[in-house]
Chains A and B, each alone.
Chain A
Amino acid sequence: MHLTKEQQCQVDLNRARYEELKAVGQKKAPKALPGNTHRDAAAPVESKIIRREIVPGGWYWTTRLDRGDALRLINVTGGSCISVLAWNAYDRSERLNHADTIKVQWAANLEKGRVILSDMGRVLFSIIEDTSGKHDAVVGGSSPESNRTRYGAGRHRNTRENFISAAAKLGLDRRDVHPCVSFFAPVSVGADGQFKWNDGVRQAGDFVDLRAEMDLLVALSNCPHPMDPSPAYAPGDVEIVRFRTEPKKSDDLCRTASAENIRAFENNALACLSA
């Protein structure tokens, strides 16, 4: 298509701005992120703990989560995977968006300092502690088909059906079941686009802390990840600890990790003002 001089000029301006944003986004984020939490560090203060819950292997759990409360997901056996869905408690059409989470942060790897975004450019969760940094924001959870492929005939509980049940118990239906993110699922993408499961990096006691940045409805599913190569269907129990976090400081890691995070939190704040 032939562009006029003015059109070409606009194209060049847009490109220059994009290159600048990309450079800032990719350079700044890794510098700002502190790496993994030590397994013995960051224990929640006992008086701030609201509830502990064991979710058996293969099962799901739902909760309403107030802004400022956090969930610690603990991989008790080291062999579990926890898939997560979340909705704005007051407008369930606003929900976790794995695609925006990836592209906005220029990163498919979730780790301490990253956030999980909604489709409305707002932060649902901050990842405030994380001992492994080995999670999956791309491939999603298991389904009846993926279990059949992996384990053969027979009934094996799966994340797709868990989420349909979980959604129903939150007053939602399968239209509300969106793509998920999965914790303790060490998946990476090879140069050829093939997915790779990085075995041996998960450890018993790994945990990740998700702080709610708005009032949420949350569904968790504790089923083996569809790429988990273990031939046995043997999801271990996981422990969920709900606790109250301290008010955010002005230099809060997730809030300030990147220009994108800052703007997403500004959108959260604006939504409160207009409510």
Chain B
Amino acid sequence: MVYNAIPASAHIVLDTAIEACAPWSARIRKGQSLRIIDSHGQQAVDTLFYNAVDPAERYSGQDTIRAQGSLYIGKGTALMSNEGRVMLHVTADSCGLHDTCAGACSCESNTVRFGHQTKYYHACRENFLIEGAKYGLSKRDIVPNLNFFMNVPIHPDGKCTVVDGVSKPGDYVEMLAEMDVLCLISNCPQIHNPCNGFFPTPIRAVVFEERE
């Protein structure tokens, strides 16, 4: 796999390490690109996008997979909003398998999946609530999200599992914003399934734009 450097000609708008298990957010302007780097490999990155001007328009996994006719997210996928508009295009992907059907982990769903004793573990839903609140977003605004670097095959008979991620240290996915968006990320803290190799690790987010 070729790991392309961000072009030297590009202007780096921000370059941030996101701690293991932590939330993160940024406004990304139309024409800017977001690169998410799985620094240590096998780390799920739960991601949501909102129209920066009208956050009631937001990422829709169902519109996205319906428009492309297939389940998995990768290079060429148009990330669609609930209003049927393209929010971002996936322009580069060194990993090749990303999910948008399994949603985020939450304290509540963890109790159902893994037992009531797992309720008081940090979860993506908590990250989204805390980070979204900074922009006036509430639980009503949190919808099923993108899971970069997360491998959730659905089989022809309907069986579904979360299996080991295929991402290697340094793998990345890159998106070009087609409108001004707010990006919310939860660097997934889940330790009860293989989406983070049972050991959550830091990731990196870079926003850049080509100079005029």
Residues of A that sit less than 8 Å from B by CB? 1, 3, 7, 10-12, 14-15, 17-18, 21-22, 26, 92-93, 97-100, 102-104, 106-109, 117, 119-122, 138-141, 143-146, 160, 173-180, 188-196, 226-227, 260, 263-264, 266-267
* Contact call B199/A7, Cβ cutoff below 8 A: yes
Interchain nearest-CB distance for A117 vs B (Å): 7
* Contact call A103/B82, Cβ cutoff below 8 A: no
Interchain nearest-CB distance for A228 vs B (Å): 12
* Contact call B103/A14, Cβ cutoff below 8 A: no
Interface size of B as a range: 35 or more
* Contact call A179/B140, Cβ cutoff below 8 A: no
Closest B residue to A264 using CB positions: B112
Closest A residue to B80 using CB positions: A145
Docked pose: A102 CA to B103 CA in angstroms: 9
Q: A1-B201, A260-B112, A263-B115 are in contact. Are A18 and B160 (CB under 8 A)?
A: no
Q: A14-B192, A103-B160 are in contact. Are A93 and B112 (CB under 8 A)?
A: no
* Contact call A108/B154, Cβ cutoff below 8 A: yes
Chain B interface helix/strand/loop/mixed: loop
Q: List 14 A-B contacts (CB under 8 A).
A: A1-B40, A14-B192, A18-B193, A108-B101, A108-B158, A117-B109, A119-B142, A140-B66, A160-B84, A175-B141, A176-B140, A195-B69, A196-B156, A266-B116
* Contact call B71/A189, Cβ cutoff below 8 A: yes
- List residues of B (158-208) whose CB comes within 8 Å of A's CBs: 158-162, 169, 191-194, 197-199, 201
Closest B residue to A196 using CB positions: B156
* Contact call B116/A103, Cβ cutoff below 8 A: no
Docked pose: A106 CA to B101 CA in angstroms: 12
B11 at the binding interface (Cβ < 8 Å): no
* Contact call A106/B109, Cβ cutoff below 8 A: no
Tell which of B69, B84, B158, B194 touches A109, judged by Cβ atoms closer than 8 Å: B158
Closest B residue to A8 using CB positions: B199
Q: A15-B198, A194-B70 are in contact. Are A119 and B112 (CB under 8 A)?
A: no
Interchain nearest-CB distance for B104 vs A (Å): 8
Interchain nearest-CB distance for A133 vs B (Å): 9
B108 at the binding interface (Cβ < 8 Å): yes
Docked pose: A253 CA to B201 CA in angstroms: 41
Docked pose: A17 CA to B61 CA in angstroms: 30
* Contact call B113/A104, Cβ cutoff below 8 A: yes
Docked pose: A107 CA to B106 CA in angstroms: 19
By a CB distance below 8 angstroms, the chain A residues around B126 are: none
* Contact call B112/A267, Cβ cutoff below 8 A: yes
Docked pose: A10 CA to B197 CA in angstroms: 11
* Contact call B161/A22, Cβ cutoff below 8 A: yes
By a CB distance below 8 angstroms, the chain B residues around A99 are: 61, 101-104, 144
Tell which of A7, A138, A174, A267 touches B154, judged by Cβ atoms closer than 8 Å: A138
* Contact call B108/A179, Cβ cutoff below 8 A: no
